[in-house]
């Protein structure tokens, strides 16, 4: 289907545009995809969503109009917009997010060289509070075997996903594979201070040269760590 420039268009409600300093993005929260777009297109979407492409083209000369058509062909090909004679029937999605639990997520910092944390008690308390997502961070040298021991305390809890952040030490691929298979709650492992950058195990394991030195560090900046869903957006 070619663009119907005389039919009103709408962004899908789950596709949320975000303006940046030099370029913008559309967050497809349903498919969990991120699409980068020029700021000019962001402005057009903000002004004309629910309108007709022909109305936009009337404001441009032939050369620039062709660029605008390319913008909207991109949006249509990526299934970010649709055409409808009744755009008013498709209101924007609500960005109000409420959770029935007292704590949705938590972070625990650990160091094997210091006193052992009360893992069993912490796991029970987080589960009682309804915490569903946990990040465990280690800034010093720490083996995967250490985390294998820790993760067993969360087997019978309400926690649904666990991310691990640990300083890089050489661990065999078999050990990492065992951890991921034994503990399906583990949704991601990040090794910081790695000699090389990359990923493995279908993107679940990420290696970063960046060294995370403490809780006051600015954090991990990596495209793979952007969560694109309505809970994080709202």
Q: Are strands 9-11 and 81-83 parallel, antiparallel or unpaired?
A: antiparallel
Measured CA to CA, the distance from residue 193 to residue 210 in angstroms comes to 5
Per-residue pLDDT reduced to its tens digit, 38-68: 999 999 999 999 999 999 999 999 999 999 9
Q: What is the pTM of this model?
A: 0.62
Backbone angles phi, psi at 205, to 5 degrees: -110, 125
Q: What angle do CA 143, 148, 154 make, to 5 degrees?
A: 135
Give pLDDT, residue 143: 84
Backbone angles phi, psi at 18, to 5 degrees: -135, 125
pLDDT in tens, the chain (234 residues): 578 999 999 999 999 999 999 999 999 988 888 999 999 999 999 999 999 999 999 999 999 999 999 999 999 999 999 999 999 999 998 888 788 888 999 999 998 888 889 999 999 999 999 999 999 999 888 888 899 999 999 999 999 999 999 998 887 778 899 999 999 999 999 999 888 988 899 889 999 888 877 766 555 555 555 555 555 555
Give pLDDT, residue 145: 87
Give pLDDT, residue 74: 96
Give pLDDT, residue 23: 95
Give pLDDT, residue 188: 92
């Amino acid at each position: 289907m070619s663009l119907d420039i005389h039919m009103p268009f709408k962004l899908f409600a789950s596709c949320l545009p975000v303006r940046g300093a030099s370029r913008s993005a559309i967050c497809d929260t349903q498919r969990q995809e991120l699409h980068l777009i020029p700021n000019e297109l962001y402005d057009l979407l903000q002004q004309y969503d629910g309108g007709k492409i022909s109305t936009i083209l009337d404001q441009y000369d032939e050369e620039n109009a062709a660029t605008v058509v390319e913008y909207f062909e991109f949006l249509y090909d990526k299934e970010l917009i649709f055409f409808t004679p009744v755009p008013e029937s498709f209101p924007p999605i609500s960005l109000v997010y409420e959770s029935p639990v007292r704590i949705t997520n938590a972070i625990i910092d650990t160091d094997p060289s210091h006193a052992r944390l009360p893992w069993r008690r912490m796991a029970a308390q987080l589960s009682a509070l309804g915490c569903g997502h946990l990040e465990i961070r280690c800034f010093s040298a720490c083996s995967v075997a250490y985390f294998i021991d820790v993760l067993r305390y969360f087997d019978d809890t309400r926690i649904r996903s666990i991310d691990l952040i640990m300083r890089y030490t050489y661990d065999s691929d078999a050990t990492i594979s065992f951890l991921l298979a034994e503990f399906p709650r583990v949704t991601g492992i990040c090794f910081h201070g790695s000699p090389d950058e990359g990923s493995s195990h279908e993107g679940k394991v990420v290696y970063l040269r960046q060294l995370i030195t403490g809780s006051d560090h600015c954090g991990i900046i990596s495209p793979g760590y952007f969560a694109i869903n309505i809970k994080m957006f709202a």
